[in-house]
Amino acid sequence: MNAFTKGEVMTVVTFKTKTEVFEFLQYAKGFGIKGSIVPLPKEIKIGCGLCVKIAYVDAYKCYALIVENYFPTFNGIYTLKKVGGKTVLAKNY
């Protein structure tokens, strides 16, 4: 389940293939980025059904790793937050 609590911020890295989700997580861990594979939030309409959940403070570092390396199915880095019962979605990169 991809639900999160009111006020919590969730940042995810999305790809179009599950293979790249797993490859990116392993690669990012090598650079000290903590993450986990979670179901793709329903508010994000493109992807493979899975994504990598990261800390918001690691978003730029993840983007730099993606740009510097070859991840052709990269879709975006998104931040979601519960506000007044609704989920607000922002694409960071």
pLDDT grade for 19, boundaries at 50, 70 and 90: very high
C-alpha distance from residue 16 to each of 5, 50, 70, 76, 85 (Å): 26, 9, 14, 10, 28
Element holding 87 (H helix, E strand) = strand 86-91
CA dihedral 17, 22, 27, 33 (to 10 degrees): 110
Q: What are the structural domain ranges in the chain?
A: 9-91
pTM listed for this prediction: 0.90
Give the C-alpha separation, 75 to 93, whole Å. Answer: 9
Give the DSSP H/E element, type plus range, for residue 15.
Answer: strand 9-15
CA distances from 31 to 14, 16, 25, 72 (A): 18, 22, 10, 20
pLDDT at 1: 43
> pLDDT (tens digit, 9 = 90+) per residue, 1-13?
455 566 678 999 9
What CATH fold (topology level) applies to the domain 9-91? Alpha-Beta Plaits (3.30.70)
